[in-house]
Amino acid sequence: MPVVAVIGGQWGDEGKGKIVDLLAQEANVIVRFSGGDNAGHTVVNPQGDFRLHLVPSGIFSPDAVCILGNGVVINPDRLLDEIDQLKGRGVDTSRLFISDRAHLIMPYHILLDGLEEESRGGKAIGTTRKGIGPAFADKVARSGIRAGDLLDREVLLERLRLAVDYKNTILTRVYGVDPLSLDDVYEQYCRYGERLAPHIRDTGVMLWEAVDRGAAVLLEGAQGALLDPDFGTYPYNTSSSPLAAGACLGAGLSPAWLDGIIAVFKAYCTRVGAGPMPTEIEDETGQLIRERAHEYGTTTGRPRRCGWFDGVAARFSARINGFNGVAITRLDVLDALPRLKICVGYQLDGGNVSDFPASAAALVRCQPVYEELPGWQADTSDIRRYEDLPVEARQYLSRLEELISCPIKLVSVGQRREQTIMVGRIW
Ligand code: IMP
């Protein structure tokens, strides 16, 4: 059975939660590989409506094993809260495992995320303030605390002593705020350790064994390609790689094992936080999309910026990920619009640009070149077969497929599992 990665093709919030929930029904192992509780996945299934931030959406498949891989940063408080909520609603969480190599979000990461954002003033990134950037910075700086450290109190205290001492210097001397108490943080994390211990494992070994016995493995992306630290709109990006290559690293498996890379693209674009977004619609059409689709962040509640489908960004995303199948979500949101635009190129400083620029400053100056297509102005939310879609909707989807240069395998026309049009096989 294959190993398939589900990757956000845009700026996150593409509806990956629903696609993973669907595919997870046939998966044996589901792995989150990047980000942390900055992610927010909405899942609507027969068990109810759920908003997940850390626990993989595959938790609803009764026999599947769920893993938070080494590439995820974990806020133990938020994870335990999510586990408690799921348990309280009858969902079995005993099959959830955490990589002993995964880094932990500490109280000083959350404090520093907020303080750093404040200090950026008008140039703030618009982070989720969940401590994600500071936690990944510590991982790379070799001063992080890992899930495995929770299993050895002496190691934990030793690592914490160094970290808290250093962070307190920054908190007090740079930002003039109160220091943290080493004892309080230590006791708090010992308590988390007690509760999380049964879940903490070498998940790389579990994964290797699963692949070896032919299990179906689903790698669940968070965020989207355009938020990647290398390829996103730097510095307006997140701090871990949401790409297919990041999936292998963050799950702890070889790229040679990857059989499928499925992109999730919204039928239009959204973005939360600051940073360039060439196709943003700032008039009432943008407002209409936001309200029809309830485009407000699952994690922060912030209104999402809405825009037309950006073919330049999509082509770039396809190139750096190597997608071999696409899921288009939220087609039904466009049902109400009489005309639709698709961005097929940019104009930059008087010239044509067909590649996504590296510089955020250049991207801000990019003017989208649009193609206009007729809308279909009909309800698609009850349609289940591709051929039953209005001809204008099929034309629109064909154009997206051409721009992404990858076959559409699935079209989503609503939040519920059954509101899905299967076009081709994914597993
Ligand atoms: P951070 O990941 O909290 O550091 O935020 C960095 C940027 O990534 C900000 O623009 C956030 O809005 C954005 N971001 C982080 N996680 C998500 C997500 O799950 N969906 C959409 N945007 C996200």
Q: Whose CA is nearest to atom 11 of ligand 1?
A: 127
Angle at 103 between CA 101 and CA 109, to 5 degrees: 170
Q: What number is the average pLDDT over the span 152-159? A: 97
Give 372's strand partners. Answer: 341
Q: Write the single-letter amino acid at 63.
A: D
Is the distance from the beta carbon of residue 273 to the nearest atom of ligand 1 less than 6 Å? yes
Which ranges constitute the DSSP H helices of 33-181? 76-88, 107-120, 132-140, 153-169
Task: Give the separation between CA 14 and CA 264, rounded to whole angstroms.
Answer: 6
Which atom of ligand 1 lies nearest, measured to the CA of 222?
A: 19
Report the pLDDT value the prediction gives residue 40, as an integer from 0 to 100. 85
3-class secondary structure per residue, 251-276 = HCCCHHHCCEEEEEEECCEEECCCCC
Q: pLDDT over 90 for what percent of the chain? A: 92
Report the pLDDT value the prediction gives residue 167, as an integer from 0 to 100. 98
- Domain annotation for the chain: domains and CATH numbers: 3-99+202-260 (3.40.440.10), 103-196 (1.10.300.10), 265-422 (3.90.170.10)
Task: Give the separation between CA 17 and CA 222, rounded to whole angstroms.
Answer: 9
Give catalytic residues, as residue numbers: 13, 41
348 has a pLDDT exceeding 90: yes
pLDDT, tens digit, 9 for 90 and up, residues 92-116: 999 999 999 999 999 999 999 999 9
Kindly report which listed range (292-306, 308-322, 389-403) carries the lowest average pLDDT score.
292-306
Distance from the CA of 131 to the center of ligand 1, in angstroms? Answer: 11
Is the distance from the beta carbon of residue 128 to the nearest atom of ligand 1 less than 6 Å? yes
Which atom of ligand 1 lies nearest, measured to the CA of 130?
A: 3
pLDDT, tens digit, 9 for 90 and up, residues 192-206: 999 999 999 999 999
Distance from the CA of 267 to the center of ligand 1, in angstroms? Answer: 20
Angle, to 10 degrees, between the axis of helix 182-196 and the axis of helix 76-88? 40
Task: Give the separation between CA 51 and CA 304, rounded to whole angstroms.
Answer: 17
Whole-number Cα distances in Å, 22 to 103, 169, 213, 239, 352 = 29, 48, 23, 28, 40
Q: Whose CA is nearest to atom 5 of ligand 1?
A: 127
Residue 62's CB: how many other CB atoms inside 10 A?
9
Contact indicator for 68, 127 with CB cutoff of 8 Å: no
Contact indicator for 229, 238 with CB cutoff of 8 Å: yes
Q: Counting every residue, how long is the chain? A: 427
Which ranges constitute the DSSP H helices of 219-373? 244-251, 284-293, 311-321, 360-365
Whole-number Cα distances in Å, 139 to 77, 225, 391 = 19, 21, 51
pLDDT, tens digit, 9 for 90 and up, residues 238-273: 999 999 999 999 999 999 999 999 999 999 999 999
Distance from the CA of 410 to the center of ligand 1, in angstroms? Answer: 26
Is the distance from the beta carbon of residue 74 to the nearest atom of ligand 1 less than 6 Å? no
Place of tokens 């908190």: 171
Distance from the CA of 382 to the center of ligand 1, in angstroms? Answer: 32
Report the pLDDT value the prediction gives residue 1, as an integer from 0 to 100. 61
Q: Which two tokens stand for residue 29?
A: 């192992």
**Cβ contacts of 27 within 8 Å, gap of 6 or more:** 58, 61, 64, 216, 217, 218
Q: Is pTM, for the whole model, over 0.85?
A: yes
